[in-house]
Amino acid sequence: MSYNQGGYGQYNPYGGNGGYQDLEQGNGGYEMAQMNQNNGYAQQQPAGPTAILNECRKINDGINEVRAKREGQLAIAQNALLDSATEKEDQAMRQNLDYIEDEINNTFRYLRDLLKKVKQTPGSGDARVQGQIDVTNRNLRKEIEAYQKTQSDFQKRLRAQVRRRYEIANPEATPEEIDQGVENVLLGQEQSFQVAGSRSRQANEAKQAALERSAAIRKIEQDMIELGRLYQEVAELVHQQEPAVEQINQGANEVVENVNNANQHLNSAIKSARKARKWKWITLLVVLAIIGIVVGVAVGVSVNKK
């Protein structure tokens, strides 16, 4: 399982013909590649404990790759943007950062979809696989939380740089004016970033740097909102199977109850049949006795007449 140029390895469902639409985000024109339909998950529904466990392993492998990308490529790209000193460098570094963030975000969506399909697979409530599914769910939520924290910390560092760049571009501004100006810039109001005077070149460089970083901050904020929804969906998957299992248990209980009732009726029928046979024999014996008496009386009378 590995990343390709367009996204997440050999099982990327985010192509234009299925799943999510092709994505273009940031200045990099980031576009996810289309999944190989012959090898993709859409063609392979898991069946049985072994297949479900294999799917869990795939998801955990994907989580490990996201972790490696977050701790490696993402950290490097974030530091590169923080350390860039020119407008050209800022644009290039933010483009690279956008690309890596989009890869991670789309991979999280895909892993969520895989886990959702596993949870909806018949047999996922089996005790032999339920524990591993729950562990996989926790692993995915844990990595989403780690990524959210990484992005939150990076966002704070970017905000500090935006403020510093605004101060450089507006050396005469009061602290209150700086606070308001920074907030305006972070909201995307570029016109609020006025540059004038003899320090125009330095101020313009500071302005462009602040604008690049504020754009990165806004993207992070949007991603964090979506990640919050995605995390909630993954958390809800923990309870998704319970109604089905409860229904199965209820059905099993009803079957047991029906069998017990049937056994009771059968026992009653047997007892009734035994009683009926008993009375049948008693009746037969009584009839035979009466016949015997009648015959005996008749024979006796006949003998007496002779």
Considering the domain boundaries, does residue 184 fall inside one?
yes
What span, in angstroms and rounded, lies between the C-alpha atoms of 281 and 275? 10
Q: Which two tokens stand for residue 127?
A: 């005790």
Termini Cα distance of the chain:
117
CB-CB contact of 82 with 200 (8 Å): no
Considering the domain boundaries, does residue 161 fall inside one?
yes
Considering the domain boundaries, does residue 143 fall inside one?
yes
Q: Which two tokens stand for residue 84?
A: 């860039």
Considering the domain boundaries, does residue 99 fall inside one?
yes
Considering the domain boundaries, does residue 227 fall inside one?
yes
pLDDT band at 115 (very low <50, low <70, confident <90, very high): very high
Note the pLDDT tens digit of each residue in 216-258.
Answer: 999 999 999 999 999 999 999 887 654 444 454 555 555 556 5
Helix (H, G, I), strand (E, B) or coil at 7: strand
- Stated as kind and residue range, the H or E segment containing 293 is helix 242-305
Closest CA to 195 of 183, 176, 208: 208
Q: What is the pLDDT of residue 172?
A: 79
In this prediction the pTM is 0.64
Q: What is the CATH number of the domain that holds 228?
A: 1.20.58.70
Q: Looking at beta carbons, which pairs linking 131-136 to residues 24 or more positions away fall under 8 Å?
A: 132/52, 132/53, 132/56, 133/52, 133/56, 134/238, 135/56, 136/56, 136/59, 136/60, 136/63
Domain span holding position 105: 9-238
CB-CB contact of 4 with 33 (8 Å): yes
| pLDDT over 60 (residue 211) | yes
| pLDDT over 70 (residue 60) | yes
Note the pLDDT tens digit of each residue in 68-87.
Answer: 999 999 999 999 999 988 88
Q: Output the average pLDDT for the chain.
A: 74
Rg (CA), the chain: 39
What span, in angstroms and rounded, lies between the C-alpha atoms of 108 and 151? 15
pLDDT band at 134 (very low <50, low <70, confident <90, very high): very high
Q: How many domains does the chain have?
A: 1
